[in-house]
Amino acid sequence: MAQPGDRGRHRRGPRWWQRGGYTQQGRGADAPERSPERVRERLQERIQDGRERVQERFPERLAERVHAVTAPVVDRPQYTWRDFELDDAPTRARPHRPDAPDLGDGRRHCGPLERVLHREWDAADGPPSADAVRAVDSLARLPENLKLMLAATLDGIYVGRGGVPDLDDMGYLRGAPLPSGRATWDVCAGAYGDRKIVVGDRPSPTPDVMMHEVGHALDDVDAHPGEWVSDSPEFAALYEECFPLFASAFHRQPGGLGRKEFFADAFAAIASRQRPALVDMLGGDTRAALNVMLFFNRRYGI
């Protein structure tokens, strides 16, 4: 037990870094120092001795470590983000040459319209439905001046199987109500909007679905921005003359909707050479039908 006068006697005294050269126990202050070269040689000898002892005790483990090498980079599979993309682009049939005969397969060449026309079916599966073939043939029969106008102003014409929500990127219309509120877009065979025409092969009472949508397109692109041809004073006056004669309430819809639908239906009946259908729209009044045909003949040459 330490006495009061011995306090601190067990300590070493001055700190070692204050005493100059530090002497380890068992080594005198005057012991010769080893050179750095000798220290490195001694360290290498100890490392080699350790490796030899490990090899003697665990030869199989050392062999595994020697031969387990990483595969070269060139042998590893090379991936990019494109390798994990889903191919969601629709299959599209290409048209025949302009001088090819009509084969009735929906691939009849449509002249300038081929720049915006997309046939959304696989030609390897054979021809599409008769309605889809008829839609392409209707485009091919259009006058050249109308083909040029539509090719220059439309962003796309899409033809294929199903209804409107099944074509292009119109899936968001699935289950959505029509402007009339009487049905949904799922049963609709055609639509026009945002400078695009979409035509499927759903049954429709319209004389020619494609020509009906082309009529909507001309009503839009052939007028000043924000205006419609069907709103022009000339056609508005013609519509008012025909209003009492309409056989269907579809053409009497308020807010200009009925006038736009009559414009499209009248164009479709004339362009598809189904003039009796136009007479039927007007309750059999041939004189009114002739006035309507005269309007479209002067404006579009049909």
> So where are the chain's domains?
97-204, 223-302
pLDDT band at 106 (very low <50, low <70, confident <90, very high): very high
* Res. 16: pLDDT tops 50: no
pLDDT of residue 244: 97
Mean pLDDT score of the chain: 81
pLDDT band at 70 (very low <50, low <70, confident <90, very high): very low
Which pTM does this prediction carry? 0.69
Between 178 and 100, where is the model more confident? Answer: 100
Between 203 and 295, where is the model more confident? Answer: 295
Express each pLDDT in 143-174 by its tens digit: 999 999 999 999 999 999 888 888 877 777 88
Q: For the residues 238-247, what does the mean pLDDT come to?
A: 97
pLDDT of residue 146: 97
pLDDT of residue 176: 82
| Residues 123, 177: Cα–Cα separation, whole Å | 33
